[in-house]
Structure 1
Amino acid sequence: MTRTGRLVILLVAVLLLGSVGTGAVLYAAHRSGLRDEQQADGPTVRAGSVSLRPTSGRRLLVRNLAWGPHRDEIATVPADDPRGPRTASGVTCLRFHAAAGTGICLQAVHGALRDTYRAVVLDARLHERRRFAVPGIPTRARVSPSGHLVAWTVFVSGDSYAGTDFSTRTAIVDTRTWTVDDNLETFRIVRDGHSSHAADTNVWGVTFADDHRFYATLATGGKTYLVRGDVTARTLTTVHRNVECPSLSPDGTRIAYKKRVKGASPDAPWRLYVLDLRTMKETPTAEGRTVDDQALWADDDTLVYALPGDYGSDLWTVPADGGGTARRLMESAVAPAYLG
């Protein structure tokens, strides 16, 4: 073969290799773009603008758990189409809640030696207003109906409510003055009509009635209580026994909560109940599995809560009156909040 022929073959080979390489890059970029929108057999998730301001339709915000570049971001869907395409905000949270244009986002800060955590108060555009260091792993978060108060609970030690070897810290912040009650265990506890104090007290799972009153769980002596809190008087008054992670209904008449039931596994001890605050009647919901979550009221009749799923957690829904059946509301999602 002549020298010219060898050069021609070499040139053709280089061109072919270049074409293959370019094609591979373009294909990879195309697949990356697809992954930016959708996980295999999962929900469509696209980056976009997310706001906490009122809109023409009711919306559901969640922490998106679908695999892809938007995992752990706060995302939104129309409330009447929870399995529809999700709009991801770019804001990542471990726990989240929002109301009246205020959001609370509990985040991990990854360090070289260990992770730390913080609570970030967000405005209606999901921009940071104020941040607070928190002393442990985030577990619960709530915003008052007015948006003026935010609360969060973290595990100071332990990482599960199932056993007894854990300690929590719960704080409430007034977003108008930035006054911080960083440990609700310092509130005066009124149990069975008498002031009470115990070294093993834990408080967690705030749910707000308004800007003065709230409910939460108090644990002491191996028992749990529903307590009614007063921000101004700085008191916690016991209301009912065997109540964890309470959630106040929109009409203020009932509490959804986790109840420990006899005969259940120590690792899965809870069932989802509803307590009538006037009569103190307890109603078990149709959800027969253990629920380790602070349920959310979608409306006056329906509860939403998280259960383990293929990608972390799925959201489920069940009627609050004890009837009906539990059904999956949304895959790969946790920490819901309804707006509008």
Structure 2
Amino acid sequence: MKKVLTGVLGIVLLLGAGVLYVVQARGGGPAVNARPVMSGQMAIAPGNLYFRNLASGPDEGKLAVVPAGDPSGARQVGELRCDRFATARSTSICLRLKPGSLPPFTEMLVLGPDLKVKHQETLPGTPSRARVSPDGNIVNWTVFVTGDSYSATGFSTRTGLYDLRSTTLLKSIEELPVFVDGKRYFASDINYWGITFAADGNTFYVTMGSKGKTYLIKADYHGYRGNAVAQNVECPSLSPDGRRVAYKQKTADGSWRLAVLDLTSHQVTHPAETRPIDDQPLWRDNGTVLYALHHNTTSDIWSVPANSTGTPTLLVPDASSPASV
């Protein structure tokens, strides 16, 4: 409770203006924000939920924040625009499509606790996934090089890492040596996407796709090798205690549903969310998973218990890419 109150107080202190319902339109867009918005300088603080604001209006596409304990309240926005966002400790990553680029390029921004840019790279492709290791030392991303969804025929991804400690940039992990059933796996169609790091800052999990199958790869960052530990796992997200992975599981009709894998027993649990999802889940804590659900031209952020009990709860409408410290 103290952390939540601290986060709320942090937002109040950072506000540079009151609630804005009507603002001057820019670029010929709507002059009215569809949902209440507060403007002001933003920073990363515990007790907050960050996301991409999708409510129509001049602030659509901007990074926004609400108190985790009151996600239905007015959202605060700054000037940072991101297509995907993630944060951990004092480090954040923002992926955004470079304006006017053809073929498309992605701007990858590494941000400090004040959301100021510490490092920037331009990558070929469109933004897809982004994460920060729990210790805040490594940012990672996935971009689409061709196609516009995982269901697109012949899609190709590039997944990379940036180590803030050594300033090492790895634009693609496609040369990662992987072993399946104890044998080194070779194929010309390998794609990786959706990295999630463990608390040790070294172990990570990632999806490998090849020959119509997807594998959950457990990898060693410093040793730089990986082993397949499960199949039909996409966009993994490791729980804070490192015991389970929440992910997208392909169903018979070609859509995905939310699933949770116990890494010790290999038992798969399906949370109460039965609607199709196309997102990399985020653990709110060891018992709750957050995710974006798409509908029409927007999406909403929902939460659900990681076991098979309870019911899904709408947290933030017109929002995507949830992130929390």
Using structure 1 for the length normalisation, give the TM-score. Answer: 0.84
Task: Report the counterpart of residue 66 of structure 2 in structure 1.
Answer: 77
Task: Report the counterpart of residue 5 of structure 1 in structure 2.
Answer: none
How do 1:176-215 and structure 2 match up within 5 A?
A: 176-209=165-198, 210-215=200-205
Distance in 2, Cα, partners of 1:30 & 1:200: 49
1:285–1:323 Cα contact (<8 Å) kept: yes
Distance in 2, Cα, partners of 1:39 & 1:236: 46
Distance in 2, Cα, partners of 1:30 & 1:201: 48
Alignment deviations for residues 36-76 of structure 1 (CA, whole Å, 9 cap, x no partner) = 99634xx311211211244xxx1101111111221111111
Q: How many residues align?
A: 302
Distance in 2, Cα, partners of 1:112 & 1:292: 25
After TM superposition, give the deviation of residue 111 of structure 1 in Å: 2.1
Task: Report the counterpart of residue 16 of structure 2 in structure 1.
Answer: none
After TM superposition, give the deviation of residue 309 of structure 1 in Å: 3.7
Moved more, 68-77 or 106-115: 106-115
After TM superposition, give the deviation of residue 135 of structure 1 in Å: 1.2
Moved more, 79-88 or 175-184: 175-184
2:23–2:58 Cα contact (<8 Å) kept: no
1:44 correspondence with 2:30? no
Alignment deviations for residues 236-255 of structure 1 (CA, whole Å, 9 cap, x no partner) = 21000100000000111000
Distance in 2, Cα, partners of 1:37 & 1:291: 32
Percent identity at matched positions? 43
Task: Report the counterpart of residue 127 of structure 1 in structure 2.
Answer: 116
2:21–2:37 Cα contact (<8 Å) kept: no
Q: Secondary structure at the match of 2:23?
A: helix
Aligned CA distance change for structure 1 residues 36 and 282 (closer, same or farther; 3 Å): same
Task: Report the counterpart of residue 241 of structure 1 in structure 2.
Answer: 231
Aligned CA distance change for structure 1 residues 188 and 62 (closer, same or farther; 3 Å): same
Q: Secondary structure at the match of 1:185?
A: coil
Distance in 2, Cα, partners of 1:282 & 1:113: 42
Q: Secondary structure at the match of 1:61?
A: strand
Distance in 2, Cα, partners of 1:114 & 1:135: 8
Task: Report the counterpart of residue 172 of structure 1 in structure 2.
Answer: 161
After TM superposition, give the deviation of residue 311 of structure 1 in Å: 5.3
1:76–1:86 Cα contact (<8 Å) kept: yes
CA RMSD of aligned residues (A): 2.1
Q: Mark the runs of 5 or more structure 2 residues left unpaired by the alignment.
A: 1-19
| 2:172 aligned partner, one-letter code | N
Distance in 1, Cα, partners of 2:113 & 2:212: 41
Q: Secondary structure at the match of 1:298?
A: strand
Alignment deviations for residues 192-216 of structure 1 (CA, whole Å, 9 cap, x no partner) = 1111111000000001103211101
1:311–1:332 Cα contact (<8 Å) kept: no
1:257 correspondence with 2:247? yes
2:245–2:261 Cα contact (<8 Å) kept: yes
1:32 correspondence with 2:23? yes
How do 1:94-113 and structure 2 match up within 5 A?
A: 94-111=83-100
Moved more, 229-238 or 137-146: 229-238
| 2:142 aligned partner, one-letter code | T
Q: Mark the runs of 5 or more structure 1 residues left unpaired by the alignment.
A: 1-28
Aligned CA distance change for structure 1 residues 31 and 211 (closer, same or farther; 3 Å): closer
Using structure 2 for the length normalisation, give the TM-score. Answer: 0.88
Task: Report the counterpart of residue 136 of structure 1 in structure 2.
Answer: 125
1:64 correspondence with 2:53? yes
Distance in 2, Cα, partners of 1:37 & 1:110: 22
Distance in 2, Cα, partners of 1:30 & 1:222: 48
Distance in 2, Cα, partners of 1:219 & 1:225: 6
| 1:158 aligned partner, one-letter code | G
2:282–2:290 Cα contact (<8 Å) kept: yes
Task: Report the counterpart of residue 300 of structure 2 in structure 1.
Answer: 314
After TM superposition, give the deviation of residue 32 of structure 1 in Å: 3.2
After TM superposition, give the deviation of residue 117 of structure 1 in Å: 1.6
The structure with more helix, counted as a fraction of residues: 1
Task: Report the counterpart of residue 140 of structure 2 in structure 1.
Answer: 151
Q: Secondary structure at the match of 1:52?
A: coil
1:301 correspondence with 2:287? yes
After TM superposition, give the deviation of residue 116 of structure 1 in Å: 2.5
1:313–1:334 Cα contact (<8 Å) kept: yes
After TM superposition, give the deviation of residue 164 of structure 1 in Å: 4.2
Task: Report the counterpart of residue 12 of structure 2 in structure 1.
Answer: none
1:309–1:331 Cα contact (<8 Å) kept: no
